[in-house]
Structure 1
């Protein structure tokens, strides 16, 4: 127990120190305000007092934060510091990550706009492929995806609504209870990252109200990373289909997910081997 406490304390102190180093580096890269340009400076960038003034906080409090002497910094305070230091979205996200806080002002979402290159990837992929937005609405899908899942995916509807609120999903998805529970646990991770998103909260409320299984599993608080692997579907016209799923997050838009379903090679190899044996006999 003592070793665990010591490790936790070292990790916390390291994080605070890293936060201070980051703030210092960002402060030193900024040019002084115009009214201060005539003052001779021994160090580059803004002074701590100038950052504090920009952020509307005391110079002593900001100094404690930068020196790693402040153990708990609130999210609103971090937001004011981020604005004072003119941080870019990636830098702002890094600041909140170092401080272990959630950003009260979510970065601008790009909505469901899918880059042309990503649409070409979906359209030319040799298997079912689709793109999910931050709410897991389908933002793009190819013909193979429509053939597998149905017309709903081509209309850009919500993946979770299909899984939990449609009878077709229960017949299509092999081991529906296990897959649906896993999917909800993966979605909870996204939900936690955007806990202030009103649209996401409304989606969860609808699912919990209309699906008893979703209500039960949501209360269990299970959280999982997005996972690839085999996916099996009981297609009404083509029988049992097996795919190897890969999910990618495009650079520049972490709210989108590209989902690719590769035909399972192991089953293809078994089928080919069986055919060769039949020919040989």
Structure 2
């Protein structure tokens, strides 16, 4: 039987689920998945062009009939993540197929990419989208490396040059700690470091992310904070904090609006809303006096 994970839930879209799985089965032959063609060929019969439902039971190491019930949209028992992953691998799903599988079967988005370490290609059209936004905007990959940004984002930084990696800049840059990010420890470091830890847990084999974590752990300032995190992970959506705007040479508030390009799990599109007068509603002004922006 399909492994049970909690109570059975309603199917998102049975016809779409069946259409997706049937199509994927039809696109694979026995040789594609390491099954002998003789399983399909009887006397005077031609091998089938696609995989049978019983083949998926064999490939996923489940009892006969398990996959048939799953493809038909049977609500009981509810499949676990491990079964969905096994089916996805057996049918050689793409990331788009993986998301559709979760939506059609469980009415939810998958908790992680199907292939966390696969090379992610994000279209150049995102540069046009970022450029068209009226405020600062940028896109980072899974390790917070900046892929696209607009000029309004660049203007925030000294000499109009944005950092190559926003997480590294936020937690390791001396400029960020002393000038760029007012109340650095409480308003920035203790909020973004849990995001770093969560990302590393999600993508533990990401080399660049691992290198960044090790840099943070070795840092005499950020390292102890990272090691003794007492803040729970939270998304930055709607957060408002102080920021030093080097281009304007003044302190502003910034409200963050993150989203994710659907074809690039783990990537982040960040829109920033700047306000040149207001303070965050929960702001406590206990920062040191700001000096003029410095490099480094």
Q: TM-score range by the shorter chain?
A: 0.5 to 0.7
Which one of 165, 179, 184 corresponds to residue 172 of structure 2?
A: 165
Which one of 123, 142, 146 corresponds to residue 138 of structure 1?
A: 146
Change (3 A) 1:61 1:107: farther
Change (3 A) 1:51 1:126: closer
Q: Give yes or no for contact 2:143–2:209 (8 Å, CA) kept in 1.
A: yes
In structure 1, the partner of 2:118 is 108
What CA RMSD, in Å, does the superposition of the two structures yield over aligned residues? 4.2
In the TM superposition, what is the alpha-carbon distance from 1:164 to its structure 2 partner?
Answer: 1.8
Change (3 A) 1:91 1:217: same
Matched, 1:82 2:88: yes
1:215-230 equivalences under 5 Å are 215-220=224-229, 222-230=232-240
Which one of 243, 267, 280 corresponds to residue 254 of structure 2?
A: 243
Q: Give yes or no for contact 1:136–1:158 (8 Å, CA) kept in 2.
A: yes
Q: Report SS of the residue matched to 1:191.
A: helix
Matched, 1:182 2:191: yes
Superimposed CA distance per residue, residues 126-180 of structure 1 (whole angstroms, 9 cap, x where no aligned partner)? 33222211110111223332221235853x5111211222211011212211212
TM-score, normalised relative to structure 1: 0.66
In the TM superposition, what is the alpha-carbon distance from 1:219 to its structure 2 partner?
Answer: 3.9
Bigger mean CA deviation after superposition, 234-243 or 127-136: 234-243
TM-score, normalised relative to structure 2: 0.63
Change (3 A) 1:65 1:73: farther
Q: Report the number of matched residues.
A: 246
Which one of 57, 65, 87 corresponds to residue 61 of structure 2?
A: 57
Distance in 1 (alpha carbons) for counterparts of 2:146 and 2:22: 43
**Bigger proportion of residues as helix:** 1
- Larger RCO: 1 or 2 (CA < 8 Å, sep 6+): 2
Identify unmatched segments of 5+ residues in structure 2: 31-39, 279-296
